Amino acid sequence: MSSALATRVEAAIRRNDLIPPAGEVVCLVSGGPDSTCLWHVLGALGYRVSALHVNHGLRGKESHDDARFCRDIMGAEIVEPSNSPARSRTEAGLREVRYELTGGRGLRATGHTASDQVETILYRLVSSGTTKGIKVKREDGVVRPLLSVWRDETEAYCHEHGLGIRVDSSNADTKRGLIRQEILPRLRELHPAADENLRALAEQRPRLPRALERTLAELLATTDGTRSADLGDDLRAVREYDELRLEGRVAFGPWRLESKLPGLSVRTRRPGDRIAGRRKKVQDLFVDAKVPRLERDEWPLIVSGDDVVSVPGIAEAPGWEGTVTAWKDEEP
């Protein structure tokens, strides 16, 4: 079991270019089986591993016992942000606190597994109708080497290697706990491959809702003249010859875009694109902003006529500052 698991983890690291050979990496550990397995297996694979535990202190003595465990067993550095409970008590909010606090620590690894991937996809399916999964590699230097490993495998690994683990008593009271304890077991009753089938959705490209997809397909069936369609939720699509313009709040992949200015269009990049009033190419802006190559062809550009006036999250044309509001779906 352990050698096979280590081989799979190493293959995932090399396939996704997560950690340089024999490179340094900080494991963000909680004391649970996933992060404990991660810390141990990366060390066994020859990486220079250190551990860090962020103690939010939300569970009193249990939180401090978790921190002591991580320090004693893994030699973890303990960080105690005194203001994190005030900032957020949600899973997502606390996770962002951890990422912010460790932002200057170089390459960081978390113990997200295939089981976490399935739970995330299932939650997003019912909450937003998307199948966007956990990224194996975030733009801020956080990597997930265990996304090909299931939770029961990390538990078995820890047991095999005599590694003690901690169990967070608050897990059952979270949305993820509800999915894990009640919803997924019922789905497995419907089909034993429910977990694998849900995980497979993360490998597929996002799709529009079917009704919206049909409406846009009809709108794009011809490029003659001008046509328009009401998409609901105060959103309207206008097609003029070979260009599609969306008016109102726009969902563009993981992006949400909104502007009160009329006549703006959204599209992906084209060869030679430059932001209006600047010499630098959009391609160079992506490079400077360290946007992963695979994301650049799906990044939205806001266009007025032939001019690129905004690359959301990166740059705006002179005189167009603040005219477009853009944000991305929450990252798990």
Chain segment 141-169, per-residue pLDDT in tens: 899 999 999 999 999 999 999 999 998 87
Q: How confident is the model at residue 301 (pLDDT cuts 50, 70, 90)?
A: very high
* Residue range 71-118, pLDDT digits in tens: 999 999 998 876 544 445 677 777 888 888 888 889 999 999 999 999
Q: How confident is the model at residue 17 (pLDDT cuts 50, 70, 90)?
A: very high
Distance CA(330)–CA(97), nearest Å, equals: 14
Distance CA(302)–CA(259), nearest Å, equals: 10
- Where is pLDDT greater, at 195 or 216? 195
- For residues 327 and 256, the answer to whether their CB atoms sit within 8 Å is yes
* Residue range 253-289, pLDDT digits in tens: 788 888 878 778 888 898 889 999 888 899 999 999 9
Confidence (pLDDT) at 136: 93
> Hey, which residues does 315 pair with through a beta bridge?
311
Distance CA(113)–CA(104), nearest Å, equals: 24
- For residues 288 and 221, the answer to whether their CB atoms sit within 8 Å is no
Distance CA(242)–CA(248), nearest Å, equals: 20
Confidence (pLDDT) at 293: 84
Nearest to 15 by CA among 143, 185, 122: 143
> Hey, which residues does 127 pair with through a beta bridge?
none
Distance CA(220)–CA(241), nearest Å, equals: 9
Task: Provide the 3-class DSSP secondary structure of residue 22.
Answer: coil
- Mean of pLDDT over the chain: 85
305 exposure class (CB count in 10 Å sphere: 0-12, 13-18, 19+): exposed
- Where is pLDDT greater, at 131 or 25? 25
Domains detected in the chain: 2-203 (3.40.50.620), 210-328 (no CATH)
Q: How confident is the model at residue 239 (pLDDT cuts 50, 70, 90)?
A: confident
Q: Is the pTM of this model over 0.85?
A: no
Nearest to 13 by CA among 56, 58, 59, 45: 45
pLDDT exceeds 50 at position 211: yes
Mean pLDDT, to the nearest integer, of 176-198? Answer: 92
* Residue range 220-229, pLDDT digits in tens: 776 777 888 8
